[in-house]
Structure 1
């Protein structure tokens, strides 16, 4: 191979990589906009939101997509943008301001779980382990004032255990897998994304609204189980569809 041919291939690879990155930024913008619009689509009632009919919205199904589709950095950035958009929508008034940070936290941590180690400025970060540590801190912060309704943390404990298993299994998400294998890969990531997003709502409900343990344990808990379980499945399905539709944007492994 001549030097000219080699140089030509290098340029082509750079162009392809640049094009893919540009498309991912475009998807990030679209995803942030979709997140904002989804805040106007109610799902079920939940304390802390004064939006249409005081209902939980479709955002709980969109938040996990930031990290899964965009990775930790872009997921955090566009998740934050999506959260800010909801704050300025005329039909959605949030009494818990921490909810705005939910999609950003979800984007960062679920993105870090795409593989067992993420390199940032030559430093290898054990992403899933860091996520498990974050979830453990959230559980402690909840349990200190609400130990009487400890079972409310069941999803958090499950997500933390899943994150730890991803770390020690040397997990690496492969977008090239097809069918049910891809979907099964997405389930743990969607669960982590859903619960880390929910963590900001939980902290706001505990320390800003000061909701008592009885309400968490007996009033909210049954609905939370159904809502977050459904959000996990729906997020995984949507991510599967997007990855299948835009194969040229998402590399087989990241």
Structure 2
């Protein structure tokens, strides 16, 4: 049965322990696993905790999963000096865990889980088109629209698949991980766009666009789309393999908080 294992509204020791373990895992990955360089931002990288953040939402639920992912990012941001960009991007894996966790939940309060997942992605996609850069690259959210279509196709079936085993579990983990990872991606894009002229100097942006022979930031996003597709699909594959193995092991040992 899909429910939080709480007593009188108090989190169980298992939930607290897993939240702490996942937050610590994020810290280790961010600190010690090389990330993917971000074009135009010297020293900035896409941290590979993005590949496992959806699993947090699948195992301990969307809200605790989001908390664990956020805590991992914000702890590292604090350790490295509270720079604004890593503080803001700490929300990206949190959104990933939220989307994956809600998609595989039957209900979250008054709403079905998949509705929350879809609404989150719709808001992020709408945010893209609310920016001038986004309107200059209207086809860029193709990966994100694909994720939204997956959510709308699966709907409540995603939670039924998640509570099964074998290929059904694999399909659910893959679909929810992709949706979460792609939500992380769009939020990161929006943070990057918002930072231009703020914590990303405009002259720097103009300089690296000129060096790449690109006319605009919109053109840069389209130029990077194939790279982003490979990157996010690879992360989805990692999340699927790791997630299915961990969920299966936790269920076999009776330690799985959900389901």
TM-score by length of 2: 0.77
Match of 2:78 among 70, 88, 93: 88
Alignment partner, residue 201 of structure 1 = 188
Q: Secondary structure at the match of 1:250?
A: coil
After superposition, where does 1:102-121 map in structure 2 within 5 Å? 102-118=92-108, 120=109
Shift of 1:109: 2.3
* Structure 1 match to 2:210: none
How big is the shift at 1:213? 0.6
Which of the residues 143, 146, 158 maps onto 1:155?
A: 143
The structure-2 alpha-carbon separation of the partners of 1:176 and 1:26, relative to structure 1 and needing over 3 Å to count, comes to farther
**C-alpha displacement at 1:155, in angstroms?**
1.5
Change (3 A) 1:174 1:64: closer
Q: Structure 1 residues 62, 170: closer, same or farther in 2, change over 3 A?
A: closer
Aligned pair partner of 1:32 in 18, 23, 28: 23
The offset of 1:182, in angstroms, is 2.0
Equivalent residue for 2:155? 167
Match among 60, 63, 67 for residue 73 of structure 1: 63
Work out the number of aligned pairs and report it: 228
- In structure 1, what is the Cα distance between the partners aligned to 2:119 and 2:101? 15
Q: Distance in 2 between matches of 1:92 and 1:62?
A: 23
**Structure with larger Rg:** 1
Partner of 1:46: 38
Kindly report structure 1 stretches of 4+ aligned residues shifted beyond 4 Å.
48-51, 91-94
Change (3 A) 1:170 1:103: closer
Post-superposition Cα deviations, 1:169-192, rounded to whole Å, max 9, x if no partner, equal 4743434513x3321221111011
Which region of structure 1 is more displaced relative to structure 2, 60-69 or 90-99?
A: 90-99
Residue of structure 2 equivalent to 1:98: 88
Inter-partner Cα distance in structure 2 for 1:49 and 1:243: 36
Q: Judge conservation of contact 2:103–2:151 (CA < 8 Å) in 1.
A: yes
- Name the CA distance, whole Å, in 2 between partners of 1:241 and 1:230: 17
Over the aligned positions, Cα root-mean-square deviation in angstroms equals 2.7
Contact preservation (8 Å) 1:48, 1:205? no
User: Against the structure 1 CA distance between its residues 27 and 168, is the aligned structure 2 distance closer, same or farther, given a 3 Å change threshold?
Assistant: closer
Secondary structure of the corresponding residue to residue 246 of structure 1: helix
Which residue in 2 is equivalent to 1:5? none
CA–CA distance in structure 2, aligned partners of residues 49 and 105 of structure 1: 23
Q: Match of 2:232?
A: 228
Once residues 130 and 116 of structure 1 are traced to their aligned partners in structure 2, the CA distance between those partners, rounded to angstroms, is 11
- Alignment partner of 2:219 out of 214, 218, 229: 214
The 1:174–1:44 alpha-carbon spacing in structure 2 relative to 1, beyond 3 Å, is closer
**Inter-partner Cα distance in structure 2 for 1:87 and 1:36:** 10
For 2:174, the equivalent position in structure 1 comes to 187
Deviation for aligned residue 1:21:
4.2
Shift of 1:193: 1.4
Measured at CA, do residues 157 and 163 of structure 1 come closer, stay the same or move farther in structure 2, by a change above 3 Å?
A: same
Structure 2, gaps ≥5 residues long: 198-204, 206-216
